[in-house]
Structure 1
Amino acid sequence: MVTRIEKIIARRQDIANHKDILGLEKAIKNNHMSGRIESTSLVQKSDVFVGRDQEREATFYGGKFYFRTFELKNVLRHDAKTRHLSYALCSNDSISKIVEVCDSLKHARTLLKINLGTYHGFSKGIIDPCHLLEQMKCLRVLSFKSLSREEDLLHDSIGELIHLRYLDLSNTFVVALPESLCDLYNLQTLKLSNCKNLKKLPSNMQNLVNLRHLDIEDTELEEMPKGMGKLKELQTLTCYIVGNHEENGAGDLGELVNLGGSFRIEKIENVVNSNEAWKARMVDKKYISSLCLKWSAGEDSEMVDSQMEKDVLAKLEPHKDLKELTITGYRGTMFPDWVGKSWYHKMTVLELSGCGNCWVLPSLGQLPSLESLLISNLDMVKRIGGEFYKDDGTDHHQETPFRSLKTLDISRMPCWEEWESFECDDDDAPFPQLKVLMIKKCPKLRGDLPTFLPSLKALWIFGCKQLGCYLPRAPIIRKLRIFGKQEARMRDIALSTLEQVSVNGEQQVEYVFNAMTHTQPTSLTWLEISNCSSAISFPGDSLPPSLQHLSIKNCMNVKFPMQHQQHHSLQSLEIDNSCNSLTSFALLAFPNLKYLTIQRRENLTSLEVSQSFPQLSISGCSKLENIRLPVSLSQLIINKCPLLEERIQKKYPYIWPTISHIPYIYVNGKRIRNNSTS
């Protein structure tokens, strides 16, 4: 849940970032606020935002009470009544002015992001952030976000800022927080995200009774402090790490009924029994939209009580309006009944990963709104059968399985051998809305795949070397990528609709070339072929007219089309250890080429390029000795081409004049400088 303070901060930052685009001009608001200044860290909605582009400065006035600058040379112009201050330093600023301005801001309510880098010497002690705090005891909002300082930012004096509502230490090197932080009874927001060195929170966090938002994402916290359940006002808690004691166990979550947004529970292996899991009262936390349940790896699976693991997960059942669910590292052999039940009518995203003991998938096909499903590292699953689609595979009155699913990603399933077909007519086939199907690193999978996917637009198969079945019928497919040694057959793939094709191996490459012979691929813009030793050539000795990117790797007997007519669409060309019959290469047929890469071409002796493009990379061409390039080429990279390297180093005639004006020439990683460009 985003607080009002955070919304205002985001709005100010956005305007500051776009001041040049907005063309802000310097101005002063003539009418000033009068009367008593309210004790608040929020700027009034009537703020006027003005700035001056010439000095890269933006000064924002809310009456006279809000001041912001991008440079410090004019920082002392601020009004004595300023209550809200924020600025970012440039490398040429005078850091000593920080102390000057803060000494005269004893009544300031807001001190936002001081963006100091190590080049200012801040980490060497030129300025102590604690000195700033001693001068500004009325602060409500304080941000040291992304402050480059390796030692601790705060000491016990932080506890004297009794009015503080908002504290942001995100992206800092903070190692520990002082215990006095727990004296800030008015603190509502504490942001510690991406504090990679932070391993422990203060022991008396339970005293922050007004805390509403605690962000500890991407920290190294080992466990939660005791008594977190007393923070009953908490609305945002990104993560709860279960400890080994009753005072910081899962049961401490029971009173935090106002938690909302995204929430993760880690180290669930520390939950000793299902009763403790039940005390967490996850089913009552109706404001949580995204939930992650995570077990840590480490314990031998043979030592795990599978039934107890299942009971614990059963008692962590979330509320019925959950939208996203992730279960990772679960150590039971089967999932409890609630996982996949159709009463989760709003669930759109589900991830099951690292559940190494599970031997059967839960029934997920009847989740009515599920759009994205990720299954990975379920090491014991050998078969996906009818129970995956419906509760028992026999109730014909149930809805079409996976009727809303759009993305299905199954990866790293080392024992998975069979994907059982779901017998039905095309009109009732599962996955009617599936657009993306990815199957990766499933080395034992043989078949079958779904037979008909009417909405499929992208199919990616990688590392499934035993897969030999036919690919699904997909009438509107746009992207096809098949990598590895698998021999999946593409009988019904519609080449006429494909826009991007990446295939690997004899069978796949031959199919694509044969298909292009019979069907003109009018939409194909991206083609990558690799690892084919067959002697084949492009149909009609020409490229598809719509092709923009072509990559040929380890296809030594593929004949490159030397077109007589110009091919205007091709922009990127890569030839790697391929097209052995090609001994000279003239690119006159490709006037709009932008990127050219030629690697491991043993027989290539000459290369001629007439048109201008940004980058040319040549490597592993041992016989290449002559090149003619346009002087407008931006970058030339040459590696392991001994004949060509020697001629370039010696500025050989007929070579050097054509490349001497190229700004960046690299030979074996070293830049060649010349008088024209140095």
Structure 2
Amino acid sequence: MAEGFLDGSKRGEAIEEFGSICFDNLLSRSFFQRYHNNDSQFVMHDLIHDLAQFISKKFCFRLEGQQQNQISKEIRHSSYVWKTLKAFKKVESFFDIYSLRTFLALSPYYDRVPNFYLSKKVSHGLLLTLRCLRVLSLTYSDIKELPHSIENLKHLRYLDLSHTPIGTLPESITTLFNLQTLMLSECRYLVDLPTKMGRLINLRHLKINGTNLERMPIEMSRMKNLRTLTTFVVGKHTGSRVGELRDLSHLSGTLAIFKLKNVADARDALESNMKGKECLDKLELNWEDDNAIAGDSHDAASVLEKLQPHSNLKELSIGCYYGAKFSSWLGEPSFINMVRLQLSNCKNCASLPPLGQLRSLQNLSIVKNDVLQKVGQEFYGNGPSSFKPFGSLQTLVFKEISVWEEWDCFGVEGGEFPRLNELRIEYCPKLKGDLPKHLPVLTSLVILECGQLVCQLPEAPSIQKLNLKECDEVVLRSVVHLPSITELEVSNICSIQVEFPAILLMLTSLRKLVIKECQSLSSLPEMGLPPMLETLRIEKCHILETLPEGMTQNNTSLQSLYIDCDSLTSLPIIYSLKSLEIMQCGKVELPLPEETTHNYYPWLTYLLITRSCDSLTSFPLAFFTKLETLNIWGCTNLESLYIPDGVRNMDLTSLQSIYIWDCPNLVSFPQGGLPASNLRSLWIRNCM
């Protein structure tokens, strides 16, 4: 069909273009396969995928690791998936393909990506010979600098150097007038951009988040085609003023403006025309000045006032702001799309703006404030009689508000936070007033180090997770009114030994219990644990000596036990355990049956013993027939792993991993070797 419409040359160009599209889709498929491992994520049907491979095979090529395929000189688009350090030398195979348009260096790893060595010879060779490149990606390589010869790539449109240790970019990069995308995310050694960056007038996407830039180069205002600018750093005496953002009217997505302390005149902030940037979704305003003096607060307030964003904004973060009050626009109902707001280290603001008026707000964090004493009615805002503040709020965080004493709750029918799922109040040592009375859909409540808070917990019939640290006994006692709790963590509560046993028996839905640093805890209740409890963690309770034998008499659900208590001497037999971790319990004895026919651990699959069980000299593998992973660290008296003579024919088919570290007296394994046919990992270190 193509012959009827296109002559030979144009047909070739069309096929190449289609091949390029196919190649992009192949890369997309490869990406999804590595990162999602789920066929439902694929955007291409297998038949279409095969067709794309067939059509594009002449022009597109994917090289993986040590693959030895012959590389055709006709290819136009190539990716290289490296798998070993030395494999990157195969990049030199591309030097003879002078018409290559695309070169992408990819990593096969999705969880942690190492930097791979890229010699100067290779990087220089790429730039000197592949002059037709449109797309070049060297992300995650260990490239530290680009040669001046980057200017040879006159056709380059896309350059990705993100996640590399590159420290500088040559000025010659500013001659790449066709460049549309420059990716420098997480280049943490990069402190400056080329001084003539403004010459790249066709640049549309500049990602520089995660860098350590000290300033923006001058004439950024010339880059009027920019759609993406993740970061703008205001220079003090050199570099771009914040006003140069004025003509970047197409900015979208995320923009973070740092070092606003360097704005010399609030009129410059007004000139930036933030209110006109209607495509921005997320804005961060940061002064980065912990040493500002009181006289500067008026200047900071004026700058913030002039930086009012467009009402389309969805997320706003204000950090290190040292003005004495927030701007009048913050909290205006006109911000109908605002879903997330964070006020961090606004240390001089003695009152909060009317944030309850933001009807779409879902996530609110107020972190670090040195003068806020009361959260009052101004926080909720004003409205008609039917007005209900925070109608959409789902997460609310107050953290490190050092002098906060009182929370004046709004008290409307149905609760002032009708959709609040999570409430966190952390490190507010002077808070002593009430909390909201009724939170109908709250599922998670965290109260940390609020030592003067003496009140009942809110009525929360849907609550599932509760975390209390350094709270008064009144707060602890009110837990009994929250019977739906499934996860409970208590830390550093002095009255726990008196109050806790009775409370615990009433939490019949509890599935996870964590007890930390409770120095009065000497024992758990003899009458047993909640019947549905599956996970128990006890950490740093230094006077706890025993766990009672009968603690699981009403519980057959306990599957995971983690214990880290240096005075503990004994553990009960818990047949239902699947995971057992014993940390820093030198005095404890591991419960073992006298006969191999009696199995105390019929379901245990994971065992970790760290600097514990000093009396253990021989570890009897025969009692752990379902064990999959065995970790033994720092058990100084351990001498051997053994299997009794009477069970020589046993097969530890479940055992897959053994890690033994810092056991200096270990001298032997079972005679004849380990009967573990599925063992995959065996690590023995510092065992002499």
User: Same-fold call, TM > 0.5?
Assistant: yes
State the match for 2:426 in structure 1. 440
Retained in 1: the 8 A contact 2:639–2:667? Answer: no
* Contact persistence 1:59–1:67 (CA under 8 A): no
Is 1:295 matched up with 2:287? yes
Of residues 244, 247, 251, the one that matches 1:255 is 247
The C-alpha deviation readout for 1:503-540, integer Å capped at 9, x for no partner, is 232445654532344x461x32101234163666537x
Shift of 1:137: 1.0
Amino acid at match of 2:95: C
Deviation of 1:430 after TM superposition, in Å, equals 0.7
Among 558, 573, 577, the alignment partner of 1:570 is 558
1:15 is aligned, of 29, 32, 36, to 29
Q: Partner amino acid for 1:342?
A: P
Letter in 2 for 1:15: R
Aligned to 1:590: 575
1:83 corresponds to 2:76: yes
Q: Report the TM-score, using the length of structure 1 for normalisation.
A: 0.83
C-alpha contact (below 8 Å) 1:236/1:259 kept by paired residues = yes
Mapped contact 1:49–1:61 kept (Cα < 8 A): no
Cα deviations across residues 255-308 of structure 1 (Å, max 9, x unaligned)? Answer: 111000011111101111211110000000000010000011243333x42222
Q: What does residue 174 of structure 2 align with?
A: 182
Note if 1:377 corresponds to 2:368.
yes
Question: For 1:592 and 1:254, how far apart are their aligned partners in 2?
Answer: 64
Q: Tell me which residue corresponds to 2:301.
A: 310
Matches of 1:476 and 1:22 in 2, distance apart?
33
Match of 2:138 in 1: 144
Give 1:492 shift: 6.4
CA deviation digits over 1:552-575, x for unaligned, max 9? 342627853526868442111123
Q: For residues 415-448 of structure 1, give each alpha carbon's deviation from its aligned partner in whole angstroms, at most 9, with x where no partner exists.
A: 1111123244x32x21111010011111111121
Cα deviation 1:305-344 (Å, max 9, x = unaligned): 2222111100000011110000001110100111111111
Cross-structure match for 1:496: 483
> Displacement of 1:496 after TM fit?
2.7
Q: Does 1:468 align with 2:482?
A: no
- 2:150 is paired with a residue whose SS is helix
Residue 326 (structure 2) aligns with = 335
Q: 2:404 — aligned with what? A: 416
**Taking structure 1 as reference, are residues 255 and 92 closer, same or farther at Cα in structure 2, changes over 3 Å only?**
closer
1:550 aligned to 2:529? no
Tell me how far apart the structure 1 counterparts of residues 92 and 615 of structure 2 sit (CA, whole Å): 67
Report SS of the residue matched to 1:293.
strand
Aligned position for 2:438:
452
Deviation, structure 1 residue 205: 0.9
In structure 2, the residue matched to 1:386 is: 377
Could you say what the CA RMSD is over the residues aligned between the two structures, in angstroms? 3.7
Q: Which amino acid aligns with 1:122?
A: L
Kindly indicate whether residue 663 of structure 2 is the aligned counterpart of residue 649 of structure 1.
no
2:264 to 250, 262, 272: 272
Residue 312 (structure 2) aligns with: 321
* Secondary structure of the corresponding residue to residue 335 of structure 2: coil
Figure out how many residues of one structure are paired with residues of the other and give that number.
Answer: 625
Match of 1:39 in 2: none
| AA at the equivalent of 2:151 | G
Residues 1:402 and 2:390 are matched in the alignment = yes
Contact (CA 8 Å) 2:23, 2:77: kept in 1 or not?
no
Letter in 2 for 1:85: S
Give yes or no for the alignment of 1:219 onto 2:211: yes
The 3 A distance-change label for structure 1 pair 96 and 466 is: closer
Residues 288 and 320 in structure 2, CA contact (< 8 A), matched pair in contact too: yes
Q: Distance in 2 between matches of 1:331 and 1:157?
A: 46
Aligned residue runs from structure 1 range 655-666, under 5 A: 664=658, 666=660
> Residue 328 of structure 1 aligns to which amino acid in structure 2?
G
Q: Is the 8 A contact 2:115 2:164 kept in 1?
A: no
Change (3 A) 1:671 1:665: farther
Provide the residue aligned with 1:55 in structure 2: none
With normalisation by structure 2, the TM-score equals 0.82
Gaps of 5+ in 1: 24-43, 52-57
Q: Match for 1:217: what amino acid?
A: N
CA distance in 2, matches of 1:650, 1:129: 53
Name the amino acid aligned to 1:99: E
- Counterpart for residue 33 of structure 1: none
1:161 alignment partner in structure 2:
153
Q: Which residue of structure 2 lines up, in the alignment, with residue 32 of structure 1?
A: none
Structure 2 CA distance for aligned equivalents of residues 110 and 297 of structure 1: 44
Q: Which runs of 5+ in 2 are unaligned?
A: 1-18, 594-599, 675-681, 683-688
- Amino acid of the residue matched to residue 213 of structure 2? L
Within 5 Å, give how 1:171-210 maps onto structure 2.
Answer: 171-210=163-202
Q: Deviations over 1:328-383 (max 9, x none)?
A: 01110100111111111110000000111111111111110000000101111111
Contact 1:543 1:561 in 2 (8 A): no
Tell me whether 625-634 or 279-288 shows the greater mean CA deviation: 625-634
In the alignment, what sits opposite 1:122? Answer: 118
Cα distance 1:89–1:494, how it changes in 2: closer, same or farther (>3 A)? Answer: same
Q: Distance in 1 between matches of 2:22 and 2:207?
A: 18
CA distance in structure 1 between the aligned counterparts of 2:634 and 2:198, rounded to whole angstroms: 62
* Contact 1:64–1:81 (8 Å) recurs in 2: yes
Corresponding residue of 1:515: 503
The separation in 1 between residues aligned to 2:347 and 2:646, in whole angstroms, is: 61
Give distance in 1, aligned partners of 2:21 and 2:442: 39
Does residue 538 of structure 1 match 2:525? yes
Identify if the C-alpha distance between structure 1 residues 98 and 45 changes in structure 2 by more than 3 Å, giving closer, same or farther. Answer: farther
Q: Is the 8 A contact 2:640 2:667 kept in 1?
A: no
CA separation in 2, counterparts of 1:67 and 1:260? 34
Identity among equivalent positions (%) equals: 32
Check conservation: 2:617, 2:639, Cα contact below 8 A.
Answer: no
Separation in structure 2 between the aligned mates of residue 59 and residue 72 of structure 1, nearest angstrom: 21
Equivalent residues of 1:542, 1:561 under 8 A apart: no
Partner of 1:98: 91
- Distance change >3 Å, CA 223–CA 512, structure 1 → 2: same
Against the structure 1 CA distance between its residues 621 and 66, is the aligned structure 2 distance closer, same or farther, given a 3 Å change threshold? closer
**Alpha-carbon distance in structure 1 between the residues aligned to 2:236 and 2:216:** 10
CA distance, structure 2, for counterparts of residue 602 and residue 596 of structure 1: 15
Which of 319, 326, 348 lines up with 2:339 in the alignment? Answer: 348
User: Could you tell me how far apart the structure 2 residues matched to 1:10 and 1:562 are?
Assistant: 63
**Amino acid across the alignment from 1:210:** N
